[in-house]
Structure 1
Amino acid sequence: MTDTQVLIITNEEDVTTDFIILELKRRGIPYFRLNSETLPNSKFEFDPLIGRDSFKISFEGKSIQLKNVGAAYYRRPGTPVPLIDISCDSAFYYCETEWLSLLKALYSLIDEKWFNSPSRIDAAENKPLQLLRAAALGFRIPETRITNHLEYAKTIQAPSLIGKPLKNSLIEGNDSPGIIFTSTLPPLDDLGEHEVRLSPVIFQTQIEKKFDVRVTVVREQIFAAAIHSQCNDATKVDWRASQNEVLEHTVVDIPDEIKVLCVAITKQFGLKFSAIDLILDVDDDWWFLEINPNGQWAWIECRTDLQITSAIVDELEWQCRQSLN
C-alpha cells in the first residue's frame, strides 16, 4: 500500500489520534496528520481541469495529494488560524472563513473514502431524529418532551425528570463559560414559564440506573463498557459531571438484541462508527439515550483494554486496499 495514505484531519491537541497513528506505524501504513488549525501555514494547489486528484496541500518537508488518499478519518478538526501577522480583525475573519471553505471543499472531494463523512456526522447529531429512529427500531427510550413550553413538559407523568441540552453542552463567553450537564430538575410547578421559554430543552423521565453503558460500534463490531456512575453522588445523573472522579469501567456483555439495535442505528445514519450511550436500570432493562457519531473512545480502551484502535485501523486499512482496486 505504498501508493496510498491514511489522511487524519484533527487538531494538535487530539490525543486520541495518537492512538491511531501508533497503530498505523506498527502496521507500516503511511499516513498524513492534518492539524487543521495549522492549515494557513501550508501552500495549496488545485486545478479543476486536471480533476480532484490535483488537490494538494504542502507544508515544509511534507505534502498530501488527494490522489494518494486511500482512506480518511475525520477526528476533531479545529478552526484554521490565519497567519499571525494579520492585524486587522476583518481581514483575519475573512482569511479564517476562506480557509474553512477550503477544508469543506476537501471534505466533499474525499467522498467515499471517509471512515465517517463529516456530512453524515453532522446529520447524525440531530437528537430528535436519534430518538425517533431509536424508538422505531425497537430501543426503549425514556418518555421525552422536547419543548420550550412549560405546560407541555408537564404532560410527562413521572415522579422525577431530567433536563439536558438539545445540541450544545458548552457555554462559551467571557462572563460565565461552562458545561451544561444532564441534571435532575426541580418540580416543574416550581419553574416559571419565562425560564423554560428561553430555549428548547430535552425533558425526560429520570431512570433509576444500575450503571451507564458506553457502546462503541465499529462497523459490525461492538465494544461495550459499563461506567459505574452510581457509586458517586456527583455522577449519578451524568457520569461526566465529576471530572476529577475516576469511575470504575468494566467490560460488559450486552444482550444480542441490543447489539443488533446498536449496529442498526449506526447504519441508519450511514455511519461506520458511533459511540452510543445506554443505561441499564435497576430492573435490568436497557435504555437508549443518544448516539455520538464522532464520540470519544480512547479513554474506554485505556480503562478496559477493549481493542477499539485496532478495529478502527482495520477499517482504514481495508478502505486503502479498496482504493487500489
Structure 2
Amino acid sequence: MTVLMLSEDYDPSVDRVVTTLGQLDVPVFRADLGWFPQQLTLDAELDDGRWVGILRTPDREVSLVGLRSVWYRRPTGFSFPNQMPRARREHAEREARFGVGGVLSSLPVTWINHPQRDADHAYKPRQLALAGRCGLDVPRTLVTNDAGAVRRFAGSVEHGTVIKGLASNILYEDGQRKVGHTHRLADDDLAELDGLELTAHQFQEWIPKSHEVRLIAVGKDLFAIGIHTTDPAALIDWRANYDALTYSMVDVPARVADGVLAFMKASGLNFSALDFVITPEGRWVFLESNSGGQYGWLTPTLGTSVSDAIASLLAQGGTQ
C-alpha cells in the first residue's frame, strides 16, 4: 500500500517525510496537481461506490485502490498549455478541479488533511467559536464593518485592541508584495476609521504576553515551541522580525492538550499549527490555527519529531 503525496516540487518538509517513509519501507507516490494534465494523467472508473484506476506520470503510476493515505501539502494549481485561449483554459481548470479533485477527495483513506476540511478550517471566526466550545481560552473578538462598534469594543477592553487579518496577510499592490501584520490600535487609529465600512475586519482584545507558542498537532501527538522576543514589533506579531526570535520546547498543560485534541477532532484534521499567547500568569490563550502551517523553520528546535509523527500517521493509514 502506497502513500500519495500531493505537494509542490520543492518542499524540504516533504523531503524529510519521504526519507523517513523510505526507512520504514513504505512506498511513496509524489506528485503535484500542477503537473495535470501535461505530466499527470488520471484514469478512474466508478465501481461499486468507489473510484478505481490509476494516477500516472511519465515515469510511474499508482493504483487508487492501492493507497493507504494521502498527504495534501500545498500542491500548486493545475497547469495548461499557454497557447490555450483564456476561456478554454478557465473551463479546463474548472473541469479539472471538479473531476480530479472530486475523484481524489472521495478516496476513503487517511488524509493529512482532507482539502474540504482545510477549506472549512480557513474561516477564523469559525475556529474561534469552535476553540471556545472545546474548552480553550480565546480572546474577546469583534468582526464588523461598523466604526461605532469598533470604538465601543475598544472602550470595553482592559489592555487595548489589535486589528488582524481574517484571511491571508499578503497583499499585492502596484506590483509589490506587501505583508500586513497584527497592529495594535492607538487613539489616532480609532479616530480615523475611514474605509472600515467597505469590508469585514477582525478586532481582538490585546492579551498581555510573556511569550507565544506555536503548537504542532499531528494526530494525537502535540509539539509545542515557545517563541520569545524583546523586539517591540515582534512582541505584537512575531512574524514581523524573525531575527529577533528565540525558541524553546515547552510542556503543554493537560487542560490545553485536551482542548486541542477536541478541537482537532471536531475540525476533522490530522495536522495543524496552532498559535497561543502565554500570559505572565501562565494562561494559554488560543489565537488561530493554520491547517497547512509551516514548521520546517523550527527544525533546529524540534529536530525530526514532527516529520517522524507525520510519517508514522501516513504509514499507519486506514479507511475513513
Fold agreement, TM-score > 0.5:
yes
User: CA offset at residue 174 of structure 1?
Assistant: 4.6
> In the alignment, which residue of structure 1 is the partner of 2:92?
95
Relative to structure 1, is the Cα distance of residues 112 and 49 closer, same or farther in structure 2, using a 3 angstrom cutoff? closer
Q: For structure 2, list consecutive stretches of 5 or more residues without a partner in the other structure.
A: none
- The alpha-carbon deviation at position 49 of structure 1 amounts to 5.0
Query: After the TM superposition, which residues 1-325 of structure 1 pair with which residues of structure 2 at under 5 Å, given as runs?
Result: 4-41=1-38, 42-48=40-46, 52-84=50-82, 86-156=83-153, 157-158=156-157, 159-172=159-172, 174-187=174-187, 188-192=189-193, 194-228=194-228, 230-243=229-242, 245=243, 247-305=245-303, 307-319=305-317, 322=318
CA separation in 1, counterparts of 2:197 and 2:250?
40
CA distance in 2, matches of 1:173, 1:63: 42
Deviation of the 1:10 alpha carbon? 1.2
Query: SS at the partner of 2:76?
Result: coil
Taking the aligned partners of 2:304 and 2:253, their CA distance within structure 1 comes to 18
Q: Is the 8 A contact 1:107 1:118 kept in 2?
A: no
Q: Does 26-35 or 170-179 show the bigger shift?
A: 170-179
Q: What percent of counterpart residues are identical?
A: 25
Kindly provide the amino acid, as one letter, of the partner of residue 261 in structure 2.
V
In 1, Cα distance between the equivalents of 2:203 and 2:288? 14
- Structure 1 length-normalised TM: 0.89
Alpha-carbon distance in 2 for matches of 1:174, 1:29:
47
1:141 aligned counterpart, secondary structure: coil
Decide whether aligned partners of structure 1 residues 38 and 126 sit closer, same or farther in structure 2, where only a CA change above 3 A counts: same
1:248 shift after superposition: 1.2
Counterpart of 1:72 in 2: which secondary structure? strand
SS in 2 for 1:288: strand
C-alpha change, 1:179 and 1:51, in structure 2 (3 Å) is: same
- Kept after mapping to 1: 8 A contact 2:33/2:77: yes
Give the structure with the larger strand fraction. Answer: 2
TM-score, scaled to structure 2? 0.91
The total of aligned residue pairs comes to 314
Deviations 1:46-100 (A, max 9, x none): 223576453322111201220111111111111111134x242223323333322
5+ residue gaps, structure 1, are none
Kindly indicate whether the alpha-carbon contact (under 8 Å) linking 2:230 and 2:244 is maintained by their aligned counterparts in 1. no
